[in-house]
Amino acid sequence: MSSLSLSRTRLRQYWVLTKPRVTQLAVFCAVIGMFLATPGLPPLDIVVAATIGIWLLAAAAFAVNCLIEQEVDARMLRTRHRATARGVIPPTQTLVASGLIGGLGMFVLYYWVNPLTMWLTFATFVGYAVIYTVLLKPRTPQNIVIGGLSGAMPPALGWAAVADAVPAGAWILVLIIFVWTPPHFWALALYRREDYEKAGLPMLPVTHGEGFTRLHILLYSVALLATTLLPYVIRMSGPVYLVGAILLGLRFIWYAWKLYREYSAALAQRMFRFSIVYLALLFGLLLLDHWLPAWLS
């Protein structure tokens, strides 16, 4: 293999450590927060700089997560291909790479966005990479509930980037993702239960069984529908969002109800995949409803 091919392979391995699909969803929610923070279009330079900075810090957090969980990842079918799990990328190199991209992200946010966004994003980094990964995930089946706050922060980060403040509207968006996270992740944990059991992680299906987990997915799905109505209740959004949120929420509950009545790994996997589409569509509806009056005037 040529040196160029080896370099590309190594870059690809580092790229995988940043969990690009998860990062993309987080950054998407942050960008929605940027556009909701102002009646018109936010400054393009702020949007670009904030997107880059938040992306870099999120990528750094995921790389640290892979480093800390390398032994756990090696025991799981879903994650054993990662370069840290296979020992292809040494821990020191992973730590240095994470420090470089995370430091660059903080620099971009501090100098080209604002200090508030930098500190909030850094706190999110610590919440995920340290509090969730080190303290919560290996110790409690409520790990994804308590630790979900760090994963729910992107809309607040985006809002802060444009407004240099985090008002109630931004925290409602955070609350929506916070309530969405448990049913989203528990659906994954259900059909990957054996993986988590082998890894020794106390995920809810492992510690309390499938039936208990399915019931909690259903309860959280109902709570999620109620939570998604809050933007309309506080007049942050209008009827377009309201109708869309209800329809999406009922579909989410339908998946949860079917899963509760009769479990199958295929259904749990479909619900997990739908939950990702659900969140993207819900936040897209918020943006559409936000701009629709201006387009119609």
Angle at 193 between CA 191 and CA 196, to 5 degrees: 135
Find, among 261, 264, 255, 251, the residue nearest to 190 by Cα. 264
> Which pLDDT band holds residue 55 (cuts at 50, 70, 90)?
very high
pLDDT at 88: 79
pLDDT digits (tens, 9 = 90+) for 121-179: 999 989 888 888 787 788 888 888 877 888 899 999 999 999 999 999 999 999 999 99
Predicted confidence (pLDDT) per residue in 134-147, tens digit: 877 888 888 888 77
- Measured distance CA(136)–CA(143) in Å, rounded: 5
Say yes or no to pLDDT of 297 above 90.
no
Mean local confidence (pLDDT), 199-222: 92
- Other CB atoms within 10 Å distance of the CB of residue 44: 8
Q: What is the pLDDT of residue 11?
A: 77
pTM greater than 0.75 (yes/no):
yes
Q: Distance (Å, rounded) from C-alpha 136 to C-alpha 132?
A: 5
Single-letter amino acid, residue 38: T
Triad 42, 43, 46: Cα angle to 5°: 105
Report the pLDDT value the prediction gives residue 294, as an integer from 0 to 100: 57
Q: Over 60: is that where the pLDDT of 290 sits?
A: yes
Domains of the chain, CATH where assigned:
1-164 (1.10.357.140), 167-297 (1.20.120)
d(CA 150, CA 234): 24
Q: Tell me the pLDDT band of 111, cut-offs 50, 70 and 90.
A: very high
Higher pLDDT, 293 or 67: 67
What's the CA angle centered on 226, arms 223 and 231, to 5 degrees? 135
Euclidean distance between CA atoms 201 and 195, whole angstroms: 9
The two structure tokens encoding residue 281? 């569509």
Q: Residue 118 pLDDT more than 80?
A: yes
Q: Looking at the predicted structure, is the pLDDT value of residue 93 above 80?
A: yes
- Tell me what percent of the residues of the chain surpass a pLDDT of 90: 62
Contact 179, 220 (CB under 8 A): yes
Q: Mind listing the pLDDT tens digit for each residue in 12-48?
A: 777 777 788 888 989 999 999 999 999 888 999 999 9
Q: How confident is the model at residue 82 (pLDDT cuts 50, 70, 90)?
A: confident
> CB–CB of 73/19 below 8 Å?
no
Q: What is the mean pLDDT of the chain?
A: 89
Which pLDDT score is estimated for 237?
Answer: 92
User: Which of these, 63, 69, 71, 37, lies nearest to 125 by C-alpha position?
Assistant: 63
DSSP state of 121: H
Q: Where is average pLDDT lowest: 20-29, 78-87, 174-183, 233-242?
A: 78-87
